[in-house]
A = this chain, B = another copy of it.
């Protein structure tokens, strides 16, 4: 008998990891990236007040963080117009998704998502033995009616939708989601990932009652608030669902610096407005630059733009590789037909310019490779 003895589920899981981090790519390339535009981080940085709060809180790093995240939850409840009992703080949306899946999904349970949507959600579903059903995008949008129809057909316990969407950057009006909720089958929870909501136009957020048992919404300090490295996100849902996470979560998992920083970030509405403005500027540039290169950019309500390279996935992969070789870190969707695109994050002018400088050469390289392949 071997030691240790893994569970049969663990034995069945793939050994590969969901993402190779940019640091590892840099180590492989032997040089740091000049423009880090692949992870949809906020290159505009955190609020100076958040930074100050993190640094001040570090003096108390010898103390465990408050497992209740009491003060941050109170601030978030106020921010979202819900009760404290409707708010859960966790180790980023990744951590929250993992725990949500664990609460609902036993081996064989059905889960619905879009083909090409957030891989880490799929990673968690697979990790708990769930049966993933994937619905194709329609015109670069997650196909909400088809997601719900599939959920009904497979008796799904959980359906995932991001709004605005990652990796395409598209979005739906909140009213559409509100209406769709009434068609959600009984016993199916909608996980609404709103990681990019702060970048979306008015009317994108669905108006959902805090105690609506059909939905859990997730938001994060990793994107608009510029705190990806602090690992802090939050979920809004019915109090009973929120409370159920207490049965399984890593209670002391959110660091003191994350809690203090997030609270300060939330109050600095001027900084958020500044980031929103800058992202708008960068988004326009990342739409214009591809056009000058004969490419099309998918309209985006996020801090990134999916740039349609106009050919098959292998071509876009070659463009991506060539860009990375020139120090411009971008990512791309993993499945067709979305993988005709590369995904470029918004950043200050110098980062966008690095992309603009590298793109023509990357396209030329990819075209040569494609010609050789044909």
Option from B105, B189, B213 in Cβ contact (under 8 Å) with A7: B105
Q: How far is the CB of A145 from chain B (nearest CB, A)?
A: 19
Most chain B Cβ neighbours within 10 Å, of A6, A214, A243 = A6
Within 8 A of B (CB), among A1-46: 1-10, 13-15, 17-19, 21-24, 27, 36, 39, 41-46
- Is A177 engaged at the interface, CB distance under 8 Å to the other chain? no
Give A62 to B254 CA distance when docked, in angstroms.
17
Interface size bracket, A side: 35 or more
Q: How far is the CB of A209 from chain B (nearest CB, A)?
A: 14
The A interface is mostly helix, strand or loop, or mixed, namely loop
Is there contact, CB below 8 Å, between B241 and A61?
A: no
Within 8 A of B (CB), among A43-97: 43-46, 50-51, 54-55, 57-68, 70, 91-92, 94-95
With A247-B13, A255-B230 already in contact, the answer to whether A46 and B62 are too (CB < 8 A) is yes
Is there contact, CB below 8 Å, between A61 and B261?
A: yes
A-B contact pairs, 22 of them (CB 8 A): A3-B186, A3-B187, A4-B187, A4-B189, A4-B241, A15-B243, A42-B62, A45-B61, A46-B61, A51-B58, A51-B59, A51-B61, A55-B55, A58-B257, A61-B226, A61-B261, A62-B229, A92-B250, A228-B252, A230-B255, A230-B257, A231-B255
With A250-B94, A250-B98 already in contact, the answer to whether A229 and B65 are too (CB < 8 A) is yes
Known: A3-B214, A4-B213, A54-B58. 19 other contacts (CB 8 A): A4-B157, A6-B103, A7-B103, A8-B106, A10-B244, A18-B251, A19-B67, A21-B251, A27-B70, A44-B62, A45-B61, A45-B62, A51-B58, A54-B55, A54-B61, A61-B228, A62-B228, A95-B253, A257-B257
Give A294 to B288 CA distance when docked, in angstroms.
80
Within 8 A of B (CB), among A135-162: 157-158
Is there contact, CB below 8 Å, between A10 and B248?
A: yes
Q: How far is the CB of A184 from chain B (nearest CB, A)?
A: 8
Within 8 A of B (CB), among A221-237: 222, 226-231
Q: How far is the CB of A161 from chain B (nearest CB, A)?
A: 15
- Is A283 engaged at the interface, CB distance under 8 Å to the other chain? no
Nearest 4 CB-CB pairings of A with B: A229-B256, A4-B189, A1-B187, A62-B226
With a cutoff of 8 Å between Cβ atoms, the chain B residues found around residue A55 in the complex are: 54-55, 58
- A binding-site residues for B, Cβ under 8 Å: 1-10, 13-15, 17-19, 21-24, 27, 36, 39, 41-46, 50-51, 54-55, 57-68, 70, 91-92, 94-95, 98, 102-106, 109, 127, 157-158, 186-189, 213-214, 222, 226-231, 241, 243-244, 246-248, 250-258, 261
Give A13 to B186 CA distance when docked, in angstroms.
24
